[in-house]
Amino acid sequence: MTQTRTRLERGRSALGPALELVHTGRAPTRAVLTAELGVTRATAGAVAAELEALGLIQVDSRPLGAAGAQGRPSHRLSIAPRGPVALAAQVHADGFRAALVGLGGRIVATAPGCMTVPADPAQVIDAVVEAGARLLRESGRRCVGAGLAVPSAVAEPEGTALNPLHIAWPAGAPVRELFTESLAAAGVHGPSGEPLTGLVGNDVNLAALAEHRHGAGRGAQHLLCVATGHRGVGGALVLDGRLHTGSAGLAMEVGHLTVNPEGPPCHCGSRGCLDIETDPLAFLLAAGRDPGPEGSLLQQARDLLREEYGEPSVRAAADLLIDRLGLGLAGLVNILNPDRIILGGLHRELLEADPERLRAVVAERSLWGRSGGVPVLPCTLDHNSLVGAAELAWQAVLDDPLQALAAG
């Protein structure tokens, strides 16, 4: 009896780590799972079976060895194709996007919405939650939770958007409370029918978390992410797999590093910040283009860079932004000593336009970058802030799958 209970308890405590290994693509087979968990084959088999019974993963019933492969063939593990999903939502300067995201960071369905973001945050949060609720109804899948990405630092523990500078929201808007109310009003509930508490994070923090688990940041120990949104610039640091958020959720406000002391005034009160010197609007203006009414600023900047890079004015604008971005990154390298830098939004495209120029600025202008030892890479996930918002919602399941899913 005691022995049985011990084995079950050991198996239960391995459920979360096992799910995380499958979720992040690090356990494609039961043999790898066994090795990664450091348990017996019997325990790993029981753990995989339990995760399958919870509807989270699929265990291939007929193990197949690769042709000519050595050793015993192993059962393949994959994400259950009709498993539960997280409702992910993002509000940005040009509207919103809702999505359903399964394990493995897979976007199952998505619905964009374009609007002038109203000064009342409840209106846009209601709209994005309604879009997400519609996707859920259409999918018929269970919902494990809901996460929201916002273009603002989010103060903890209050869950308020402290500096939504590029949308017209009042500083300190109670976004978590509003999100939770919207979810209840739209009839979105948890896997056992319980009310959900909405989870909220800064969009670049969430992008970094998603890239660390599923994209360009995998395996990095000290991952620095810098990205433009539709407006402005944000940064994030993932330390040993966890977001570094500071004492009150407000760390890594890299957008307000000065990279041009003679630059124009910034909405933060300083001048020439990374935020206004290297964002999509800055690129359009540096290239002598007026932002048009069609499409978001981010899309217009991307299109210009991709389609007219051969134009001297566009090339010069790209060089200018790369140099200023490199200056900002060099300062961050000295302070944070990351083992990898990933760039998102327009910064990803600037890196891809001229990787040598950006890497050279980082190397020349930083103590620790001089050796060239800090890889600077583009983000690889589509909609990484949304995937990261879903990660917030998946965390309870990853921590304790039985508790999260079998409570009802």
Which one among 268, 360, 396, 402 touches Zn ion, defined by CB under 5 A? 268
Work out whether 273 is an interface residue with Zn ion (CB under 5 A).
yes
Instruction: Single out the segment in contact with Zn ion by CB under 5 A; choices: 30-38, 61-69, 264-272, 312-320.
Output: 264-272
Work out whether 21 is an interface residue with Zn ion (CB under 5 A).
no
Work out whether 324 is an interface residue with Zn ion (CB under 5 A).
no
Query: What's the rounded Cα separation, in Å, for the pair 276 and 263?
Result: 9
> At closest approach, how far in Å is the CB of 172 from Zn ion?
18
Instruction: Single out the segment in contact with Zn ion by CB under 5 A; choices: 22-30, 35-43, 79-87, 249-257.
Output: 249-257
- Choose between 68 and 269: whose C-beta lies nearer to Zn ion: 269
Q: Take residue 61 and report the two structure tokens written for it.
A: 């019933």
Instruction: Single out the segment in contact with Zn ion by CB under 5 A; choices: 76-84, 269-277, 357-365, 370-378.
Output: 269-277
> At closest approach, how far in Å is the CB of 197 from Zn ion?
32
- Choose between 162 and 199: whose C-beta lies nearer to Zn ion: 162
> At closest approach, how far in Å is the CB of 181 from Zn ion?
32
Work out whether 256 is an interface residue with Zn ion (CB under 5 A).
yes
Instruction: Single out the segment in contact with Zn ion by CB under 5 A; choices: 99-107, 273-281, 304-312, 381-389.
Output: 273-281
- Choose between 105 and 164: whose C-beta lies nearer to Zn ion: 164
> At closest approach, how far in Å is the CB of 249 from Zn ion?
19
Work out whether 239 is an interface residue with Zn ion (CB under 5 A).
no
Work out whether 266 is an interface residue with Zn ion (CB under 5 A).
yes
Give the residues lining the site for Zn ion (CB under 5 A).
Answer: 256, 266, 268, 270, 273
